[in-house]
Amino acid sequence: MKKFKRSARLVEMTQYLMSKPHTLIPLTTFADRYGAAKSSISEDLAIIKEVCESEGTGELLTLAGAAGGVKYIPKYALEQAKPVIEALCAQMGHPDRMLPGGYFYITDMLGQPSLMNDIGRMFASVFSNHDIDVVMTVETKGIPIAYATAAYLNLPVVLVRRDHVVTEGSAVSINYVSGSQKSLHTMTLARRALKERSRVLIVDDFMRAGGTINGMIELLREFDATVAGVGVLVESEDVSQDERLLHEYVSLMRVKTEAVDPRTKQLNVALGNFFDKSGK
């Protein structure tokens, strides 16, 4: 057992807590780890809690009793999320990003792991109080967002495939119609990938009418599982309310390709409903 000074202990405890989000850690774990009295550990935790809460980086939940301990809940303060997403909106607005069919080139954004971590932390923050067993996405572009979200929530990721994959054993496939293009697609999930009655947070990079996400919801029914929430990085407003297949979701950005300024060719990209829902 190493002996730590308080200052070193605070550094190490902070690292330890940050590396184990949404995990109940008994006070005795820290007491044993640092060879310190529980009362000292409690004082340290009070300091960490105060910093996390005043900086908006997280909450430190203390659970009393024999099965008690402390749990670090990563958060993303709205006033800190806003400039990050505003900068992203400005990047998104560039006319070079428009592709045929109402799609956007956002691969460069999705290729920035630190940005994906920011986005995942935002979703983890807004869904932190939901009862969720697993984070789901469909390949390929939603994957980094799903992993970042799931890492902060300490949950596994389930990946829906476009085709049946030989290395995943027996699988369930469904056909679904994309809402905006009315074309038929397939998605597949390995039988052993999802437990029955799981509560699932669905995450994706882009949503227009919501056909793909609706497909995932349909797939969940095959596993007797339910949706616990939906989070999308970008929602397109190029669909009418009638065409929209999904109404309950959290978006970080909204884009409307129709509203292109003819002079600057700048797209109209705005903050998503995340900034309404999270309150204030």
By the criterion CB under 8 A, which residues form the site for a copy of itself?
2, 6-8, 10-12, 14-15, 18, 20, 47-48, 50-52, 54-55, 57, 99-101, 103-105, 107-108, 111-114, 116-117, 139-140, 143-144, 147-148, 150-151, 154-159, 161, 166-169, 190, 192-193
**C-alpha closest to that of 52 among 23, 70, 22, 75:** 75
Q: Shortest Cβ distance from residue 234 to a copy of itself (Å)? A: 12
Query: Looking at beta carbons only, is 31 or 157 nearer to a copy of itself?
Result: 157
Is the sign of the CA dihedral 11, 12, 14, 19 positive or negative? positive
Q: Shortest Cβ distance from residue 200 to a copy of itself (Å)? A: 13
Dist. CA 18–CA 75, nearest whole Å: 11
User: Per the omega criterion (within 30 degrees of 0), is the bond before 140 cis?
Assistant: yes
Q: Shortest Cβ distance from residue 6 to a copy of itself (Å)? A: 7
- The secondary structure of 111-155, three-state, reads CCHHHHHHHHHHHHHHCCCCCCCEEEEECCCCHHHHHHHHHHHCC
Q: Shortest Cβ distance from residue 230 to a copy of itself (Å)? A: 19
Q: What type of residue sits at position 275? A: F
Query: Looking at beta carbons only, is 80 or 268 nearer to a copy of itself?
Result: 80
Query: Looking at beta carbons only, is 6 or 130 nearer to a copy of itself?
Result: 6
| Residue 202 · residue 137 · CB < 8 Å | yes
For 84, counting Cβ atoms within 10 Å of its Cβ (0-12 exposed, 13-18 middle, 19+ buried), the class is middle
Query: Looking at beta carbons only, is 141 or 244 nearer to a copy of itself?
Result: 141
Query: Looking at beta carbons only, is 26 or 156 nearer to a copy of itself?
Result: 156
Query: Looking at beta carbons only, is 80 or 273 nearer to a copy of itself?
Result: 80
Query: Looking at beta carbons only, is 39 or 277 nearer to a copy of itself?
Result: 39
| Residue 199 · residue 173 · CB < 8 Å | no
Q: Shortest Cβ distance from residue 241 to a copy of itself (Å)? A: 25
CA triplet 196, 200, 201: central angle to 5 degrees? 170
Q: Shortest Cβ distance from residue 10 to a copy of itself (Å)? A: 5
| Residue 213 · residue 246 · CB < 8 Å | yes
Q: Shortest Cβ distance from residue 12 to a copy of itself (Å)? A: 5
| Residue 127 · residue 232 · CB < 8 Å | no
